[in-house]
Amino acid sequence: MRVFMLILKEVLHRKVNFLLSALGVVAAVAILVAFFTTGEASKVETTRLMRDIGYNLRIIPKNTEMETFWTAGYSEETMPEEYVRRFLEKKALSYAHLLATLQRRIDWNGGPVLLTGIASEVDMENRKKSPMIFEVKEGELHVGFETAKRLGLRAGEEVGFMGKKFRVASALAETGSLDDLRVYARLSDVQELLGLSGQINEIKALECLCKDPNINNLAMLREDLAKILPEAKVVRLEPIAEAREKQRFLVENTFAMLLPVIMVLCALWVGALAVLNTRERQTEIGILRALGYGSRTISSLFLGKAILVGILGAALGFVCGTAVAMQYGPEIFKVTPGIVRADYRLLILALLAAPLFTALSAFIPTMAAVTRDPAATLRVE
């Protein structure tokens, strides 16, 4: 209690120094809290943006002739649709967002189209994630831009297609790619139209990111696939895969670089203020020691003040940092604005770390001041 009263008197007596010290901690904690809050959102946003580039893995029958595959854009061979279930049974962590497809080039009313049957996307992690591609219902067609334009098709129309009636669910926007000639239908409908019940010719997938840049991801993917599906092989779309990996590492490395810089600046600020405070107080420290106050009591005074600065700075810094992140985060992260929210784990961490940090920053100047001979101090003064 005696030390606490001394700390309180010290704070009231040196209000400017206390407020400046607290301001430094508030600023540092606020920056770190805003940094981590938006940092987590940035990682999610980056993952979502990179995911939206598209599937970067194509799993096709092992006996596919690759020259024909690249020329036609799909494998002429087929494999059972039930192969998708093997990934779920084996818990293949290198693959995510599996999509079974069946593709064939056909002629529709005098023009070529790429008929593409797609099933519902399978999430390997069994979590409720938004699919990477739209859902196609039975009896519906989603028609590519050029095909819809050539045939004058509009959403909601009923059309005859390969001897069956379908409803045009949508006329897709222009992509500037082969997708403009696609006609998407439910996989079961396409299997029926082509007489290939239970068959597919490709499983599209998204590669789970590997955090070690020294690992050969393609070799790892092929090794996993050999265990799960030896009847198939995987083609990795390198430009998409590399873009995803490089962007992810860029975000993570940026955060790793900025964190120590912020912490060092905070330590220098608090330490410099502690040095100035103890230097200005040499006479008072000498008098206190001459009056019988021990080094432990005096050091507890200054270190206690530093701890109080840390607690106050942590609480106010968390509030300020969270407010900044929640105010400006949704404007920055357009794809995932709802991910920016208060993280109270950071408050607990700040309340534990900031007082320890400020006490360590003030420790050396405090020890230097209290171990000095009071007689020498008073004689100089």
Which pLDDT does position 245 carry in this prediction? 61
Work out the widest C-alpha separation in the chain, in whole angstroms. 108
Backbone angles phi, psi at 35, to 5 degrees: -60, -50
pTM listed for this prediction: 0.59
Q: How many CB atoms lie within 10 A of CB 183?
A: 24
Inter-CA distances, 365 with 68, 75, 267, 273, Å:
75, 73, 13, 10
* Token couple for 240: 């998409």
| Residue 335 pLDDT | 47
| The dihedral sign for the CA sequence 5, 10, 12, 18 | negative
Q: Where are the domains of the chain?
A: 2-49+246-380, 57-236
Distance CA 335, CA 192 (A): 38
- Per-residue pLDDT tens digits of the chain, which is 381 residues long: 666 676 676 667 667 767 877 887 888 788 878 877 776 666 666 656 555 566 788 999 999 999 989 888 899 999 999 988 888 777 666 787 889 999 999 999 989 999 999 998 887 665 555 666 788 999 999 999 999 999 999 999 999 999 899 999 999 999 888 889 999 999 999 999 999 999 999 999 887 655 555 556 677 788 888 888 889 998 887 655 565 566 566 656 666 666 677 667 766 766 676 666 666 666 666 666 666 667 777 777 777 878 888 898 889 989 998 888 877 766 666 545 556 778 888 889 888 888 887 787 777 766 766 666 655 555 555
Sign of the Cα torsion 171, 175, 180, 182 reads: negative
pLDDT at 321: 86
